[in-house]
């Protein structure tokens, strides 16, 4: 197995970045950067850059740094130095090649997981700075092709995966049909006005993880929940535009999502097991729309499952007996504090639980989130090499017996799958929903 | 010549230094506040005194945070450094006497012996920071000339102060250097990375508010 440090690899070719760069002139670059600083660079940007005393204490927070032989180029402050640091030093007079490299750093070497915020004595928000860099790249049109394509899908279809409206409805009906073999008269209620729960998922669920919708339908029906999904755009709660720096689109997406829930007069939104979507709906998109918190009550699947067990709506037939460990996703744990609730659900459903270390807020990121995995195959090797520390952490949990990794987040799921495969860990990754579906009494 | 210089740095220059420090700090804080009002109104919406204090509390207690426990030497040095850095200039008998002579106000001062040791601790800490900048690759990578200059700006008043106190060779010159460098340090606080003295409570407090109020989690 090669353990080549990505630092030794030259800038990775990416059509989106390369072609975007070709369309630019150095004058445009300077003009756009200066305008960004003038219009959007406020007190946070200024203070974060000015007060960082270059102590290097953020380094140990970052999985990219820890995994790449502690190469300082991958430390959080190191990434700021190579991007915004130089831009500020040169007053925006940077080359197109510089922007291309900066785009690679901001988009593929930082998961915006905010672990470093907990390691910086001043609480400097590196993720904010990386997002600022990404927004500059977005305005310059120098964004990795795969994630930009996702953002295009968002702007055309209001979902992440180019799913057409009829395909969405068809997928739900297909899953309803399938699930009726298991539970008689099961319903996936579409467009039910006044339902208590508006259930939303991310684009990839109907696209290639339709069984998750099946499982949710079973859980909802067994628990006797009053729920619905919309037949119109707004069903997708995901948001890659938030990560490409396209804040305007991010706001539009959340508007459509919230409005779908409100049009159906539902009482609250329950989201599937996705981390970035939770960040988008709970923390970011609402702010773009001028809402301090989301305009109607909103909970992540972890919290929902917790409620179902707490209120005895679900009954466990037989606890899941294969030893499990839990990966705490940054967006729902460091971003939502759902770690104890996730453990509650695991204790209700699994008989053997092995903690991985570090855990909870201090868990290592999957290296897929923050839009990094969405930058696609060109960067996948760099991504898995850049998270060897996660592989070590998983191997340690495995050595203590864990066979299954529970990851209540889509990006984590995909990222961990790559890591497990690359480092030959031979572990299986599951959603909480998978476990619940398997062990509840469905009669 | 030395005497004239001494009179200047001991007299008008002190006024200038304190004025630049005070007005400069106020200017930085107020202008940043106004900029935040204009561009970062989000800060004011989410700022929570409770969670800000909760976070700051964890970061001003030695070893209360995970990263402090990961770097015990740095933690001990950083706390000793900042403690002595503030305590020595404020509670040094010589300084208190100067205030007493000028404005007839005075406060508690520490024994000279203690101040001497604490000043040496500051110098030792500066050497530790210098060592980090030179030998730790993650710190060296981030370090630029200005970082060394800032470190020097903090170290020189203490080195020269100890020098003058012990009346080593050319201590009168050392005293002038001590006063001038102290004044320079004071004056550059608002305008350099030393401004973390002004802003760190706000950045930490804001992050504490986001983590506590929105993210329902800890940030230490």
Q: Is A51 within 8 Å of B199 when comparing Cβ atoms?
A: yes
Question: CA B106 to CA B97: how far, in whole Å?
Answer: 7
Q: Note whether residue A317 is domain-resident.
A: no
Q: Is residue A319 part of a domain?
A: no
d(CA B33, CA B51): 20
| pLDDT value for B4 | 85
Q: Classify residue B113: in a domain, yes or no.
A: yes
Q: Among A123, A283, A335, whose Cβ lies nearest the Cβ of B207? A: A123
Residues A104, A171: one domain? no
Same domain, A11 and A64: yes
Task: Give A167 to chain B, closest Cα distance, Å.
Answer: 35
Higher pLDDT among residues A1 and B156, named by residue: B156
Say yes or no for a CB contact (<8 Å) between A119 and B147: no
Convert the pLDDT of each residue in B180-219 to its tens digit.
Answer: 999 999 999 999 999 999 999 999 999 999 999 999 999 9
Whether residue A149 is contained in a domain is answered as no
What is the complex's ipTM, to 2 decimals?
0.95
Strand ranges across the sheet with A268-271: A227-228, A197-200, A268-271, A298-300
pLDDT band at B3 (very low <50, low <70, confident <90, very high): confident
**Which of B 62-121 lie inside 8 A of A, CB atoms?**
65-67, 70-71, 74, 78
Q: Are residues A116 and A251 in the same domain?
A: no
Q: Is residue B69 part of a domain?
A: yes
Residue A379 belongs to a domain: yes
pLDDT at A442: 93
Q: Is B207 touching A (CB cutoff 8 A)?
A: yes
CATH number of the CATH domain containing A203: 3.40.50
Is residue A148 a part of any domain in this protein? Answer: no
Distance from CA of A14 to the nearest CA of B (A): 28
Nearest chain B Cα to A82, which residue?
A: B142
Ranges under pLDDT 70 in chain A? 1-10
Q: Distance (Å) from the C-alpha of residue B194 to the closest C-alpha of chain A?
A: 7
**Cβ–Cβ of B138/A361 closer than 8 Å?**
no
Residue A280 lies in a domain: yes
Please indicate whether, in this complex, the C-beta atoms of A70 and B39 are within 8 angstroms of each other.
Answer: no
Tell me what pLDDT residue A5 has. 45
Q: Is B209 domain-assigned?
A: yes
Q: What is the pLDDT of residue A422?
A: 98
Confidence band of B6 (pLDDT split at 50, 70, 90) = confident
Do A415 and A358 sit in the same domain of this protein? yes
| Same domain membership, residue A204 and residue A100 | no
Please indicate, yes or no, whether residues A59 and A200 belong to a single structural domain of this protein: no
Nearest Cα residue in chain B from A288: B42
Q: Is A23 a domain residue? A: yes
Q: How far apart are CA B73 and CA B89, in angstroms?
A: 24
Domain assignment present for residue B80? The answer is: yes
* Residue B86, min C-alpha distance to chain A (Å): 18
User: What is the Cα–Cα distance from A359 to A280, expressed in whole angstroms?
Assistant: 23
CATH for B127: 1.20.950
Give contacts of B190 with chain A, Cβ < 8 Å: none
Residue at A316 is within a domain: no
Contact A153, A238 (CB under 8 A): no
**Are residues A51 and A129 both part of a single domain?**
yes
What pLDDT is recorded for position A3?
45
Q: How many domains does chain B have?
A: 1
Q: Between A47, A57, A123, which is nearest B219 by CB?
A: A123
End-to-end CA distance of chain B: 54
**DSSP summary character for residue A201:** B
Structural domain contains residue B220: no
Looking at the fold, whether A276 and A350 belong to one and the same domain comes out as no
Domain count, chain A: 3
- The residue range of the domain holding A384 is 324-439
Q: Indicate if A81 and A195 belong to the same structural domain.
A: no
Full domain range(s) for residue B71:
2-214
What's the CA gap between A377 and A225, in Å, rounded? 40
Are residues A87 and A232 part of one domain?
Answer: no
Q: What is the pLDDT of residue A8?
A: 42
Of A57 and B102, the one with more pLDDT = A57
**Which chain B residues in 171-190 lie under 8 Å from chain A, judged by CB atoms?**
none
Among A310, A337, A369, give the residue marking a domain's end. Answer: A310
- Please give the pLDDT value at position B2: 73
Cβ-defined contact of A125 to B216 (cutoff 8 Å): no
Per-residue pLDDT of A73-130, as tens digits, reads 999 999 999 999 999 999 999 999 999 999 999 999 999 999 999 999 999 999 999 9
Q: Residue A330: is the preceding peptide bond cis (ω within 30°)?
A: no
């Amino acid at each position: 197995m090669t353990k080549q440090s990505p630092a030794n690899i030259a800038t990775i070719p990416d059509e989106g970045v390369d072609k975007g760069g070709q369309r630019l002139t150095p004058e445009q670059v300077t003009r756009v950067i200066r305008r960004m600083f003038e219009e959007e660079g406020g007190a946070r940007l200024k203070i974060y850059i000015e007060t960082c005393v270059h102590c290097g204490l953020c380094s140990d927070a970052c999985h990219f740094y820890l995994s790449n032989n502690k190469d300082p180029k991958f430390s959080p402050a190191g990434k700021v130095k190579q991007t915004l640091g130089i831009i500020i030093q040169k007053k925006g007079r940077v080359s197109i090649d510089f922007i291309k490299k900066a785009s690679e750093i901001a988009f593929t070497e930082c998961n915006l997981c905010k672990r470093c915020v907990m390691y910086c004595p001043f609480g400097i928000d590196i993720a904010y700075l990386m997002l600022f860099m990404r927004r500059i790249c977005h305005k310059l049109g120098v964004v990795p092709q795969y994630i930009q394509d996702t953002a295009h899908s968002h702007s055309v279809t209001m979902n992440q995966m180019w799913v057409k409206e009829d395909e969405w409805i068809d997928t739900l009906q297909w899953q309803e049909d399938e699930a009726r073999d298991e539970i008689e008269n099961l319903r996936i209620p579409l467009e039910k006005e006044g339902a208590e729960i508006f259930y939303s998922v991310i684009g990839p669920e109907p696209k290639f993880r339709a069984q998750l919708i099946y499982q949710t339908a079973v859980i909802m029906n067994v628990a006797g929940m009053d729920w619905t999904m919309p037949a119109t755009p707004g069903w997708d709660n995901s948001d890659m535009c938030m990560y490409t720096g396209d804040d305007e689109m991010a706001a539009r997406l959340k508007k459509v999502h919230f409005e779908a829930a409100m049009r159906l007069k539902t009482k609250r939104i329950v989201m599937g097991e996705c981390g970035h979507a939770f960040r988008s709906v709970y923390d970011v998109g609402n702010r773009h729309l001028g809402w301090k918190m989301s305009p109607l009550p909103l909970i992540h699947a972890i919290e929902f499952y917790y409620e179902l067990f707490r209120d005895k709506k679900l009954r466990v037939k037989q606890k899941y007996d294969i030893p499990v460990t839990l990966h705490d996703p940054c967006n729902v744990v460091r971003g939502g504090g759902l770690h104890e609730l996730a453990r509650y659900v695991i204790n209700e459903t699994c008989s053997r639980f092995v903690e991985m270390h570090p855990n909870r807020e201090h868990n290592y990121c999957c290296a897929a989130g923050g839009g990094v995995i969405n930058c696609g195959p060109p960067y996948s090797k760099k991504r898995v090499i850049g998270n060897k520390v996660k592989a070590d952490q998983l191997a340690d949990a495995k050595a203590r017996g864990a066979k299954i990794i529970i990851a209540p987040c889509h990006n984590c799921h995909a990222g961990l799958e790559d890591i497990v495969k690359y480092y030959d860990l031979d572990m299986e990754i599951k959603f909480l929903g998978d476990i619940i579906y398997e062990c509840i009494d469905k009669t | 010549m030395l005497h004239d210089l001494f009179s200047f740095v001991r007299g008008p220059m002190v006024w200038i230094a304190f004025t630049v420090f005070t007005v400069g700090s106020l200017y930085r804080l107020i202008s940043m506040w106004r900029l935040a009002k204009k561009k970062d109104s989000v800060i004011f919406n989410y700022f929570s005194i409770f969670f800000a204090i909760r976070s700051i509390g964890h970061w001003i207690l030695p070893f209360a945070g995970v990263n402090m426990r990961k770097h015990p030497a740095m933690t001990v040095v950083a706390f000793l450094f900042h403690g002595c850095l503030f305590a020595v200039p404020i509670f040094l008998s010589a300084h208190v006497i100067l205030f007493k002579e000028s404005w007839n106000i005075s406060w508690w001062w520490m024994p000279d012996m203690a101040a001497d040791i604490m000043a040496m601790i500051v110098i030792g800490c500066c050497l530790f920071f210098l060592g980090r900048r030179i030998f730790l690759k993650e710190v060296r990578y981030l370090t630029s000339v200005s970082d060394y200059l800032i470190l020097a700006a903090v170290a020189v008043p203490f080195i020269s102060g100890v020098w003058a106190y012990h009346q080593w060779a050319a201590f009168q010159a050392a005293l002038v250097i001590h006063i001038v460098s102290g004044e320079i340090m004071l004056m550059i606080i608002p305008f350099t990375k030393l401004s973390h003295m002004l802003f760190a409570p706000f950045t930490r407090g804001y992050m504490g508010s986001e983590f506590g109020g929105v993210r329902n989690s800890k940030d230490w």
